[in-house]
Chain A
Amino acid sequence: MAYRDEKLSEEKVFKDPVHRYVHVREQVIWDLIGTSEFQRLRRVKQLGTSYLTFHGAEHSRFNHSLGVYEIVRRIIENFTDRPNWNQEERLLCLCAALLHDLGHGPFSHSFEKVFKLDHEDFTQAILLGDTEVNKVLSKVEKGFPKKVADVINKTYENKLVVSVISSQIDADRMDYLQRDAYFTGVSYGHFDMERILRVMRPMEDQVVVKESGMHAVEDYIMSRYQMYWQVYFHPVTRSAEVILTKILHRAKELYESGYNFELKPTHFFSFFAGEPTLKEYLALDEAVVLYYFQAWMEEEDEVLSDLCHRFVNRRLFKYIEFNPNAQMNEWMELYKLFTKAGLNPDYYLVVDSSSDLPYDFYRPGEEGERLPIHLLQPNGELKELSRLSDIVESISGKKRTDHKLYIPLDRLEEMSSRSKTKKRIMEILFDKE
C-alpha cells in the first residue's frame, strides 16, 4: 500500500479539552506529529505573554495545531461526496492544517518585530528544508512538501483547499477562539461550531456557509470581536509585550556596542546579526529565552537587568490613555523630562498602538482587499455576510483603534517628592503632583 494511504492499525486519539477528542487514522499524520519540529511547538505558548494576565493561558501551539487538524478533519468529513470537493485533496488539507503554525518561534510577535523576521518564512523553510517534517512529507510523493507549503502560503492552485485552512471563517480561527477562551477562562469566544461545520459548503474556489447558518456565523464574528478587546489586546498583556520587546532591543543594542555579557547570549547571536539559520531558529524556544531573562537579571547593565526583573517577576509598566495627535507636545516634553530623571525614554516611555498587535477584524472586503464570508442563498446566489446581517454590519463598519502610553510608575514614585522633574512628569501624566 502506498504510504499516503497507510492507516494505523487502530485509531489514535488525543484527549482534548476543546474538541473532546482529536482522531488520527493516517500514518502520515501520526509520523508528522512525532517529528522534532512539531514537538517543538509544545515549547511555544499560543498566547505569548497573555499568561501574565490570564494565568490559565499556558497552552501551546502544539495544542492549537492538533485542534486545527481536528476541525479540518471534520469539515472534510462533511464535504465528502459533495460537488466541488475532490477527495484526493484530503491528505494535503490535513497536513497543511496540522503544520500551518510550524514556523512560530518563542514569543513570536516581539521576536519578529525586533529581529525583522517572519514566522511564515520559517514555516516554508521547515517544510522545504532538511528536516524530519520534510522527510515524512516527501515519502508521500515528490513535490508533496511544496504542495503543503503552497496551501499554507495561500498560493496553491485550488483556492477551495486554501480557504478551508485560511479564510475569514476557517479552522484556524475556529480553534483558537474556543481554545483561548477555554484556557483564559473568559466567557467570550463560544459559538456553535458544530452548526457552522454542518452548514459549510464547498464551492469552486471558496468555502461558503448556507444562509440558514447565518446566526451561528454572527456568533462567531461576535466572539472574534470580543476576544480581541478582552483577551488579545488586554492592556496588561500589552505591557508585558512592551517590556519583552524592549529587553530584546536592549540585548541587541548592547551586543552591537560590544558590551561584555556575564552570560553570553550565544543562542541570540544569529538573531542579532539578522540572519538565523533554520537550525539556530529551531534551537530557540521559550524555555531558552526565559533562561536568558533569568540570567540577565544579574547583568551589570541596569536597563537590561531592570527590564528582565520586571518581566520575570511581573513588575509591569503602568499605562494611561494617550492621543498622539492631541498630546504630541506633552510627549516631547515627557521625553526630555524622563532623560533628565535618568530614565532612558527609549526604554521607559513607550507608546503602544492597536496596530502593534494586528488582529484581523472581520472586514466585508470592499474593493477586493480580502475575500469576505459569503452566505449561500436558497436560489444559489452568494451574498456577503454583512449585507444580510445587521449585527455583523454594525461591528465590521466600526473603526476602533487605541493608543496607550506605558511607563514605570514605581520608578517615578521612588523619586524625591521635592523633585521638580517628578512634579512636572506627574502633572502631565495624571494631572496631579
Chain B
Amino acid sequence: MLENHAKLMQFFSSTDEIVGRKKLQKMIYILKKCEIPFEERYQFHFYGPYSEELTLRVEEMCNLGFISETREEKKNYYQYRYQLTDSGRNFLNHYEMDLPPLDKHIEEMNGKSSRFLELVSTMLFFEHLPKEEITEKVFTVKSAQNYTTEDIEDGWEFIESLRTIH
C-alpha cells in the first residue's frame, strides 16, 4: 500500500525540510536521473521537468497528515516548506525500503538554488543528446533564465559529483 508515497516519505525523512515546490520537483527528478527508483513520471514544462504525479502525491501526504506544508508569502509568490510529521515517521516504520541513503544527495542539492537545480534537471532531460547539443538546447528552451556556459559547466560538475556519492 502506498509504496510510492513511502519512497517520498523516505526522501523527506532524510532531511530537516525542503523549501520550495520547484526545488522539490527538480530534486526528485535529479535523483531519478541518479538511478534512485522514484516512480513519478515527468514531462517538460515551461520551467523544466515537472511531475503532476509528484504534486498530487505530496498533496495526498499532506492531507493524510504524513507531511506538513507551511505557506509563506514572498514578494511575488508563495513559498512552501515541507517536513515529515510524526505520523509520517510512524507510517514509514512499517516499510522496508530498498532505497539507498539519500542524505548526502539531498544535502548537496539543498545547498543549491532552485534556479541552478532547474538548469541541472533541464540538462538531464536532454542527456541523451551530445553535450554541445544539450548546451544549445538549454540556451533555446531556457533563454529567459540567461544561463551562461560557466553555469552549464558547473551543472556537469554537480551531476558528476552527485553520481559518485555512495
CB of B116 to closest CB in A, whole Å: 14
Beta-carbon contact of B64 and A120 below 8 Å: no
Beta-carbon contact of B78 and A366 below 8 Å: yes
Which one of A8-16, A28-36, A152-160, A292-300 is at the B interface?
A152-160
- Across-interface contacts of B2 in A (CB, < 8 A): 324, 351, 353
Q: Scan A318-355; emit 1 where CB is below 8 A from any B CB, else 0.
A: 00000111001001100000000000000000010111
Provided the pairs A367-B21, A369-B22 are in contact, do residues A401 and B44 lie with their beta carbons within 8 angstroms? no
A131 to B39, CA, bound (A): 30
A157 to B44, CA, bound (A): 13
Beta-carbon contact of B64 and A155 below 8 Å: no
- Across-interface contacts of A332 in B (CB, < 8 A): 94
Q: Scan B122-157; emit 1 where CB is below 8 A from any A CB, else 0.
A: 000110000000000100110010000000000000
B158 within 8 A of A: no
- Across-interface contacts of B5 in A (CB, < 8 A): 324, 353, 355
Kindly name the residue among A159, A359, A367 whose own CB sees the greatest number of chain B CB atoms within 10 A.
A367
CB of A155 to closest CB in B, whole Å: 5
Kindly name the residue among B46, B87, B91, B126 whose own CB sees the greatest number of chain A CB atoms within 10 A.
B46
Beta-carbon contact of A401 and B56 below 8 Å: yes
A368 to B23, CA, bound (A): 10
A358 to B60, CA, bound (A): 12
- Across-interface contacts of A353 in B (CB, < 8 A): 2, 5, 57, 60
A414 within 8 A of B: no
Main secondary structure of the interface of A (DSSP, over half): loop
Beta-carbon contact of B63 and A401 below 8 Å: yes
Which of these, B41, B44, B62, B114, contacts A154 with CB under 8 Å?
Answer: B44
CB of B76 to closest CB in A, whole Å: 9
A328 to B94, CA, bound (A): 9
- Across-interface contacts of B78 in A (CB, < 8 A): 366-367
Beta-carbon contact of B87 and A325 below 8 Å: yes
- Across-interface contacts of A120 in B (CB, < 8 A): 43
A403 within 8 A of B: yes
A399 to B62, CA, bound (A): 10
A399 to B52, CA, bound (A): 14
- Across-interface contacts of A367 in B (CB, < 8 A): 20-22, 77-80, 114
Interface residues of A in 187-209 (CB under 8 A from B): 205
- Across-interface contacts of A368 in B (CB, < 8 A): 22, 46-47, 77, 118
Beta-carbon contact of B1 and A351 below 8 Å: yes
Provided the pairs A328-B91, A370-B46 are in contact, do residues A401 and B60 lie with their beta carbons within 8 angstroms? yes
B50 within 8 A of A: yes
Provided the pairs A367-B20, A369-B21 are in contact, do residues A324 and B44 lie with their beta carbons within 8 angstroms? no
Q: Scan B3-30; emit 1 where CB is below 8 A from any A CB, else 0.
A: 0110000000000000011100100000
- Across-interface contacts of B118 in A (CB, < 8 A): 368
CB of A308 to closest CB in B, whole Å: 24
- Across-interface contacts of A371 in B (CB, < 8 A): 45-47
A355 to B126, CA, bound (A): 26
Which of these, A154, A324, A331, A354, contacts B56 with CB under 8 Å?
Answer: A354
B65 within 8 A of A: yes
Beta-carbon contact of B66 and A325 below 8 Å: yes
A353 to B55, CA, bound (A): 13
- Across-interface contacts of A359 in B (CB, < 8 A): 52
CB of B138 to closest CB in A, whole Å: 10
B160 within 8 A of A: no
Beta-carbon contact of B44 and A155 below 8 Å: yes
Provided the pairs A154-B43, A367-B20, A370-B46 are in contact, do residues A325 and B53 lie with their beta carbons within 8 angstroms? no
- Across-interface contacts of A351 in B (CB, < 8 A): 1-2
A328 to B1, CA, bound (A): 10
A355 to B20, CA, bound (A): 20
Provided the pairs A355-B57, A371-B45, A371-B46 are in contact, do residues A157 and B141 lie with their beta carbons within 8 angstroms? yes
A219 to B128, CA, bound (A): 41
Beta-carbon contact of B20 and A118 below 8 Å: no
A81 within 8 A of B: no
A105 to B92, CA, bound (A): 35
A360 within 8 A of B: yes
A331 to B3, CA, bound (A): 14
A324 to B91, CA, bound (A): 9
A370 to B50, CA, bound (A): 8
CB of A231 to closest CB in B, whole Å: 18
- Across-interface contacts of A323 in B (CB, < 8 A): 64
Beta-carbon contact of A354 and B1 below 8 Å: no
Interface residues of A in 388-418 (CB under 8 A from B): 399, 401, 403
- Across-interface contacts of B65 in A (CB, < 8 A): 325
Give A contacts to B, CB under 8 Å.
112, 116, 118, 120, 153-155, 157, 159, 205, 323-325, 328, 331-332, 351, 353-355, 358-360, 363, 366-371, 399, 401, 403
Give B contacts to A, CB under 8 Å.
1-2, 4-5, 20-22, 25, 39, 41, 43-47, 50, 52-53, 55-57, 59-60, 62-66, 77-80, 87, 90-91, 94, 114, 118, 125-126, 137, 140-141, 144
Listed by A's residue number, 16 A-B pairs whose Cβ atoms lie within 8 Å are A154-B45, A324-B64, A325-B66, A328-B94, A353-B5, A355-B57, A358-B56, A359-B52, A360-B52, A367-B21, A367-B114, A368-B46, A370-B47, A370-B50, A371-B46, A401-B56
* 7 interchain residue pairs of minimum CB distance: A355-B56, A371-B46, A401-B60, A368-B47, A325-B64, A351-B1, A355-B57
